[in-house]
């Protein structure tokens, strides 16, 4: 802007000196160019999908055009009262700075930021657990899962996370890795914890949100045990920090073939059911929300469980390219992590997976499911500046 000020001011003086335009027209024209010229690039930046080069060009144009203000509004004091121009400028700038400070304070008082803090470097620690093959011949080797591990490791590192891995696959090894991961001292210096478990699995019971994770040595781990490890006491280093638990296993054996939409007609005119009566507690009183005057921390909080399929349904994996869920997640997170929160991106993943099944790209449907355990704020992963459109 400083360099651009010289030709801009010289041009204004040249026009005035040669009586090409009146002082009034020059001041107004230069002010309009400054205001509109600097605001339009800033508006356009909001529509740029984090292309660093484009953003820099737009910012340069906006700041450069702002220099027109020096021969516009900022010269008005000299035209009106040359003797008192400095005094008027001082008073005007002083009031401007005071209102700027007050505006920021007032906005901070009115607006509350309902998002998790994500500022540390690294942002968080990711634990990747993969069970590739099994001692039990009933469970086939999970071909393609090694590619998932490679892609996830590269992806999370570019996103600014520290990545740790567990590939041995036995129950004791997995449990030991989880305990070691949550108890490490480094957790105190990061803002987030992420765990991704890839293995064969099945639902604990129909409609249950829990799964049994099959381990290499013919044993199982109940996902509720993993959730319990994230409580405020066991995982105190992650207290009040977001915890993402990706349980990438099947939740049943059924593939989701979808529903013929023509068959919905028989349900459309079915009699409407009334809502059930209010739920009563053990004393016969209608349950209401309760509050406590003392500030306490819930036993389980800030946990988001992510499943690749609905209860009772299978999760699909390509032997060469890896699981549909992982590949879709990497694609969406690369494109959206700098503008969307995690839950918004998971919804986008779900839409993509459904669309691929509808278009015949995938041979079955797969629905992304989440379970919220006190995950009350938005989580923006805040990738580093070098992470642009997924290319570090």
Residue 155 has a pLDDT of 95
Look at residue 253 in the predicted model and tell me its pLDDT: 80
Beta-bridge partners for 117:
none
Partners of 388 in beta bridges: 391
Total residue count of the chain as it appears in this document: 392
Q: What top-level class would CATH report for the domain 124-254+298-373? A: alpha beta
To the question of pTM greater than 0.85 for the whole model, the response is no
Q: Name the DSSP class of 385.
A: T
304, 245 in Cβ contact below 8 A? yes
- Residues 392 and 386: their CA atoms lie apart, in Å, by 5
Cα(181)–Cα(124) distance, integer angstroms: 11
CA 279 to the chain's CA centroid: 36
Residues of the chain with pLDDT under 50: 264, 267, 270, 272-294, 390-392
Instruction: Say if residues 46 and 58 touch (Cβ distance below 8 Å).
Output: no
Span 82-122, pLDDT tens digits: 888 888 888 888 998 899 899 888 888 887 778 999 999 99
Spell out the domain ranges in the chain.
2-80, 124-254+298-373
pLDDT at 110: 82
- Residue 21, pLDDT score: 86
CA distance 179 to 200: 21
The reply to whether omega before 217 is within 30° of 0 (cis) is no
What's the CA gap between 28 and 152, in Å, rounded?
56
Distance of CA 108 to the CA centre of its chain: 22
User: Looking at residue 272, what is its pLDDT?
Assistant: 43
The answer to whether 302 and 347 have CB atoms below 8 angstroms apart is no
Q: Could you tell me which residues come within 8 angstroms of residue 129 by beta carbon, excluding any fewer than 6 positions away?
A: 165, 166, 167, 174, 177, 178, 195, 196, 197, 198, 199
């Amino acid at each position: 802007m400083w360099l651009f000020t010289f030709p801009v001011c010289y041009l204004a003086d040249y026009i005035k000196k040669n009586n090409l335009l009146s002082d009034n027209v020059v001041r107004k024209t230069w002010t309009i160019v400054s205001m509109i010229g600097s605001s339009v690039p800033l508006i356009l930046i909001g529509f740029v999908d984090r292309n660093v080069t484009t953003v820099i060009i737009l910012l340069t144009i906006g700041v450069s055009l702002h220099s027109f203000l020096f021969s516009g509004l900022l010269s008005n004091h000299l035209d009106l009262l040359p003797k008192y121009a400095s005094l008027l400028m001082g008073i005007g700038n002083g009031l401007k700075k005071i209102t700027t400070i007050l505006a920021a304070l007032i906005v901070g008082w009115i607006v509350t930021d309902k998002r998790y803090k994500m500022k540390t470097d690294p942002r968080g620690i990711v634990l990747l657990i993969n069970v590739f093959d099994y001692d039990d011949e009933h469970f086939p080797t999970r071909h393609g899962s090694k590619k998932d591990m490679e892609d996830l490791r590269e992806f999370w590192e570019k996103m600014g996370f520290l990545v740790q891995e567990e590939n041995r696959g036995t129950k004791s090894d997995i449990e030991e890795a989880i305990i070691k991961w949550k108890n490490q001292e480094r957790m105190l210096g990061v803002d987030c914890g992420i765990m991704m478990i890839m293995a064969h699995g099945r639902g604990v019971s129909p409609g249950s949100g829990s799964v049994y994770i099959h381990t290499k040595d013919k044993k199982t781990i109940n996902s509720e045990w993993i959730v319990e490890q994230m409580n405020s006491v066991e995982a105190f280093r992650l207290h009040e920090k977001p915890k993402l638990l990706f349980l990438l296993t099947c939740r049943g054996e059924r593939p989701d073939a979808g529903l013929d939409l023509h068959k919905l007609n028989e349900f459309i005119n079915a009699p409407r059911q009334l809502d059930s009566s209010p739920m009563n507690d053990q004393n016969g009183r209608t349950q209401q929300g309760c509050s406590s005057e003392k500030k306490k921390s819930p036993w389980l909080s800030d946990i988001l469980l992510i499943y690749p399929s609905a209860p009772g349904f299978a999760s699909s994996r390509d032997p060469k390219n890896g699981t549909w869920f992982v590949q879709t997640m990497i694609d969406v997170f690369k494109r959206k992590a700098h503008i969307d929160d995690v839950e918004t991106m998971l919804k986008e993943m779900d839409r993509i997976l459904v669309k691929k099944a509808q278009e015949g790209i995938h041979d079955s449907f797969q629905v992304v499911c989440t379970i919220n355990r006190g995950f009350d704020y938005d989580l923006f992963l805040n990738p580093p500046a070098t992470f642009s459109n997924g290319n570090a």
